[in-house]
Structure 1
Amino acid sequence: MHAIQIPLLLIFPALVIVAALKDVTSYTIPNWISLALLVAFVPAAVVSGASLPAIGLCLATGFGALLLGMGMFAAGWIGGGDAKLFAASALWIGWPAAFPFMLSTGLAGGALTMAILALRSGWLEPVLAGSPSWLRKLGAQGGDIPYGVAIAVGALATFPQGALASAILG
């Protein structure tokens, strides 16, 4: 059974890493990533052996995170792709690991913001001149913060505590 469980479980970290890389290089998180996470959750939940109440809590957690993400998007704090990635990640992580996920994401977001502010401080301007275009854009004054990176860090940090990973890993 592990021959099926582990590859299905690895879909989550692979897709959140792809989302983070896309966000940092293009400031977008394609819809297909969040949709793939949503679709892959069903077979992963079934083969993980998670109970129906645990799966229900995952669904409720994902829905609650979607509402929270929509609110943060409406307030202008995060982008639409970030909100969808946040909800899809919360779906996989479930309850009660949702709070550590949000805390880890918030801490990672603070660290990311501080790093980007340092990058934009002007001290590294000579280094940025010869860097790839995505890094120059990241270092440009007044630019956005690719919060998908923070969501991915929070998701990866808490995924082992999540409902599906716990069902498989014990």
Structure 2
Amino acid sequence: MHALQSLVLLAFPLLTLIAALRDATSYTIPNWISLALVGIFPLAALALGLPLAVLGGQLGLGAAALVAAMAMFALGWIGGGDAKLFAAAALWLGWPAILTFLAVTGVAGGVLAVGLLALRAPAVRRHLPAGPGWFVRLAEPGENVPYGVAIAVGALAAFPGCSLLARL
């Protein structure tokens, strides 16, 4: 049983990393990643014997995160893939890890934005060697910020404190 528990728990960091890499290289987070996270969560909860009260709390946090992320998307602050990843991560993390997730995601987003502003500065851009297309796009002034990277950093930082790992 321990191997099954570990396997379903491994899905979260693996899919979160894939989402970050896809966002950084293509500015998209495919729907299948968020759907897989949401779909695997009940298996993880069942395999780890998550109590119904805790499960209900996590479902509530996931729903609240989805509403908040949809509002951020509607305001143009984040992309649709970012919104879905944010909600799926909140579902997995639960209370109190959601607090770490929110704080670290916010800080990571700020660091990412400042880093991209520096990378996109004319003084820096003229010294950049030709590189892969995704890197050239990251350095393009006026281009979007792949916020899925910040969401992944926050999610991975909060994961050790999530209620699922506490059950292992």
Give TM class, smaller chain.
over 0.9
User: Structure 1 stretches of 5 or more lacking a match?
Assistant: none
- Residue 57 (structure 1) shift: 0.8
- The residue type paired with residue 98 of structure 2 is A
Count of matched residue pairs: 168
Alignment of 1:14-163 (within 5 A): 14-163=14-163
- Residue 97 (structure 1) shift: 1.5
- Deviation string 1:18-70 (CA, Å, 9 cap, x unpaired) is 00000000000000000000000010011112111111111101000000000
RMSD of aligned residue pairs (Cα, Å): 1.0
Equivalent position SS for 1:160:
helix
In 2, distance between residues paired with 1:124 and 1:18? 28
Equivalent position SS for 1:53:
helix
- The residue type paired with residue 58 of structure 1 is Q
CA contact (8 A) 1:22 1:29 kept: yes
Q: TM-score, normalised by structure 2?
A: 0.97
- Residue 157 (structure 1) shift: 0.2
Equivalent position SS for 2:122:
coil
Aligned to 2:6: 6
Equivalent position SS for 2:167:
helix
Runs of 4+ off more than 3 Å: 126-129
Q: TM-score, normalised by structure 1?
A: 0.96
- Residue 127 (structure 1) shift: 4.3
CA contact (8 A) 1:58 1:163 kept: no
- Residue 98 (structure 1) shift: 1.1
In 1, distance between residues paired with 2:61 and 2:20? 21
Equivalent position SS for 2:123:
coil
User: Structure 2 stretches of 5 or more lacking a match?
Assistant: none
How much identity, in percent, do the aligned residues show?
54
Equivalent position SS for 1:130:
coil
